Amino acid sequence: MNFLAHIYLSFDDDEITLGNFIADSIRGNKYQHLPKRIQKGIKLHRHIDTFTDTHPIPKISSKRLHENYGHYSRVIVDIFYDHFLAKNWKTYSDVPLDVYVDRFYDLLEDNFEVLPDGVKRMMPYMIADNWIYNYSNMDGIAKVLNGMNRRTKNRSKMNFAITDLEEHYHAFEHEFTEFFTELINYSKLKYKSINEKI
């Protein structure tokens, strides 16, 4: 899953949210200098990724893209799924998406000192262009895919995946909806479990 899903699946717990968000920027166990609850957020992120990577529904979504994008297909599916979460946000939260995202940006700014260097460098661009809120529209997703393609020096061709999203929109949305219900339930159990551990 991508940024918005990981934030959402932190269940409005600030330190867990921070850990869940920064986890992709941290290798192995190089997080032991961080506050304990941020460490728990990193662990929750990894549980979510493992569940997602081994679940049959995202594999169906990924298979649809594999011929054109190879191993980048899973990354594209993560971005597509964040689009459907943002687009259908009212189904999952009573807080309007713009308010929710602004609160998250405030959380990052208030905890800037604990963020990994890569996140610190990315953050101003994320906030200025409002990446997370703009997952909700096709132009925003197109920009994300273009940016990811640039980062792979045009090897991934991910910029073309917006066409695949348009062509198979309802199939991807159906798969997201089915999967995300299961992922929420799984993440709640893992969140409860990691909070019970000292």
How far is it, in rounded angstroms, from Cα 65 to Cα 70? Answer: 7
Q: What tens digit of pLDDT does each residue of 127-174 get?
A: 999 999 999 999 999 999 999 999 999 999 999 999 999 999 999 999
Q: What tens digit of pLDDT does each residue of 28-74 get?
A: 888 888 999 999 999 999 999 999 999 999 999 999 999 999 999 99
How far is it, in rounded angstroms, from Cα 134 to Cα 143? Answer: 9
Does the pTM surpass 0.85? The reply is: yes
Cα dihedral sign, 172-178-184-190: negative
Q: What angle do CA 81, 177, 60 make, to 5 degrees?
A: 65
Q: What tens digit of pLDDT does each residue of 11-30 get?
A: 999 999 999 999 999 988 88
